[in-house]
Structure 1
Amino acid sequence: MRTAITATALALALAATGAQAYTGVSPTLLADAQRTVSELGLDVDFDALTDEQVIEIYFAGSEDMASEKIRKIEAALNGEGTARAILERRVVVRDVNGDGTVGFDENGLMPQGENSVVASVQNYLDVNGFDVDASTLTDAQVAEIYLTAFGDQENGMEPSRDRIETFLDM
């Protein structure tokens, strides 16, 4: 009984802070991010990370210098990464219609949930006239399109169709 109460209290505390563990990233993207952290000798609890943090750690692994990888991972863990605003939008997306229903916003961004990153990319591609099945894309393509499509909007920039096409041709 005490375990159930503790688990419930922990779940409520996480919900109150808006913290949600990753749920929408692929297992291979997660494994690559974990490998990067392990190779650097860092101790990171991936169960406490958001999709956006996992994606940023995944991208940090492509840096050449270990110090730059660590800097980017620390920024992601501290909520200072480029995808922080995407997470904030996804929390709001839970009630896009104002009626308590879960949906996606006008650009296709999905709330947290199983396969939400791929679903968000698929929605974005559909809304913008790309005839592509997001489930057939590589993790790198999905992550790049996700951050470009939804991250650029937070910086006041519309994502470039040419950039998206470049990622589709990877």
Structure 2
Amino acid sequence: MQFNESHFSFCPVCGAKLESRALKDQEPLRLICSACKFVFYLDPKVAVCSIVEWDDHIVLTKRAFNPQKGLWVMPGGYVDRGESVEAAALRETEEECGIQTRLTGLHGLYSYAGNWVVLVVYRALYISGELSARDETLEAKLFEPSQIPWDELAFDSTRDSLRDYCKLKGVALA
């Protein structure tokens, strides 16, 4: 479920009614407590994934749940409160496909108007473990960059980050 201002009526600090109004002229409307003046921001959610390099291949996982069940993504997921984005990237890769990796650098940030997720994409190297599907994946598989299943990718951010990766590596896009 994607939340918006209409889902919230009361202040999480004091319980008074929230009002929708601008803090300053020309700013967007915000939810502001009528009593204590707490500003209730609906912030974006941070997600991470890793483009895991394994010899001349990359790791993709097939989603076991909606949204986009049955389509391919890089291993990843949401960052937990208090967790670093780097730790989340390592954790999600191990949880989704059973392998340990080492992050080699930030690949990119991806966000889209109207979408509340900000995706942080890392490049990583395979270190150890057996590649396998886990609870959140139907399949985990190695692909040569030239063989990425472009028509079976789950999200715009998946396509965009893999296109950027292929350009970086000099791989011709189909």
Question: Is the pair's TM-score, using the shorter chain for normalization, greater than 0.5?
Answer: no
Q: Give the TM-score, by structure 2 length.
A: 0.27
Name the structure with the higher strand share. Answer: 2
Normalized per residue, the structure richer in helix is 1
Greater relative contact order structure (CA < 8 Å, 6+ sep) = 2
